[in-house]
Structure 1
Amino acid sequence: MFRPVLADVPPDIGIDAILADVQDDGVSAPASDVDGLRSVVVRAEQDGVELSVVVLAANPVRDSQLRDIATEVGKQEGGTVLVLSPSWVGTYSDTLSRVTVEDAQDKAYTGNAVASADNFLGAITRPDPPYGLITAALVLLVGGVAAVSLWARSRRSAATVDGDVDAR
């Protein structure tokens, strides 16, 4: 019988230590990544996004645990949280839609923490495509094609009727 796995944070992950680290600069990561990630967090602030980035040295047992870690950090810190491990990405946001965050998450699979965070930020701050305008253009295009087809068909029908009348 299938039973869903409860949300959990791996026991070897110290959420309190991560929270303490994130509080001062929005970053909890190995020293080699901290400066680059701080610059991403500062750019996020300039764009009006409260971003925290957590980088783990190893993958947890399940990729979903990264989302659980992000949720725990996000519940305490607020804003948007990006958690990276060598192979996986987890996110949480109390300000952005899940669709936006998951789309941005897909762009964060690079294997490099700073590049991943940069890609994530770029995806959550770029404007959405103008779907209303695109839809209106498609409707006009389809309507135009239908009108031209109807006009051409009626011209052919009229020519055929005229040809039948002339032949008699």
Structure 2
Amino acid sequence: MPVSHTIAFLPAPADIPNSVDIDTILADLQDDGVSAPADDVAGLQDVVARADREGITLRVVVLDENPGRDSQLRDIATDVGEQQGGTILVLSPNWVGTSSDALPRVAVEDAQDHAYTGNAVASANQFLDAVVEPDAPYGLITVGLLLVVGAGAAVTWRLRSRRAAAATRVED
């Protein structure tokens, strides 16, 4: 009897750098939604408050150094998000990581692309701006283009019909 082997693909465990203490970050986030060096705290508190006014629960974590890999920032954001909820933005000097249980992943990743500034407060503001700015109304744009193309086709058909009718009258 042949032996059947089942291969299961399991998600890789979170890779949190040894230098990062998630419990310390969580404790720091409790009072104001910010875990960052003292110089950045006031500016980041303003960003978190602005996010709250926009209906977004934002938590910002700033690391003093880059971890070994940029993907570790997303792992930190995911771990913090699982315990805190909301949208988590993790910044290091050169990288950005995010996680959100409230916003679509595509919106968060797009906003993340705007957060590479090297300045934590500017990065967080740009991230938030990108999250709250309305998307272009692509549905309306598509309908408009279809109407324009349809109208052009109708006008072309009408002109060709008239020319054909005029040519038939001339031949008679």
Structure 1 position 123 matched with structure 2 position 126:
no
Aligned equivalent of 1:63:
70
**Which of 71, 95, 110 in structure 2 is aligned with 1:103?**
110
Gaps of 5+ in 2: 1-10
- TM-score under structure 1 normalisation? 0.89
Letter of the aligned partner of 2:35 in structure 1?
Answer: S
Decide which moves more: 38-47 or 143-152.
Answer: 143-152
Aligned equivalent of 1:140:
147
Measure the CA separation in 2 of the matches of 1:123 and 1:92: 15
Helix, strand or coil at the partner of 2:99: strand
Aligned equivalent of 2:8:
none
RMSD of equivalent CA atoms: 1.7
Gaps of 5+ in 1: none
Q: Deviations over 1:82-138 (max 9, x none)?
A: 001111111001111111111111111111111110011111122232233222212
Cα shift at 1:5:
5.9
Helix, strand or coil at the partner of 1:116: helix
Letter of the aligned partner of 2:106 in structure 1?
Answer: V
Helix, strand or coil at the partner of 2:97: strand
Structure 1 position 94 matched with structure 2 position 107:
no
Helix, strand or coil at the partner of 1:38: helix
- TM-score under structure 2 normalisation? 0.87
Question: Percent of aligned pairs with the same residue?
Answer: 65
Aligned residues: 162
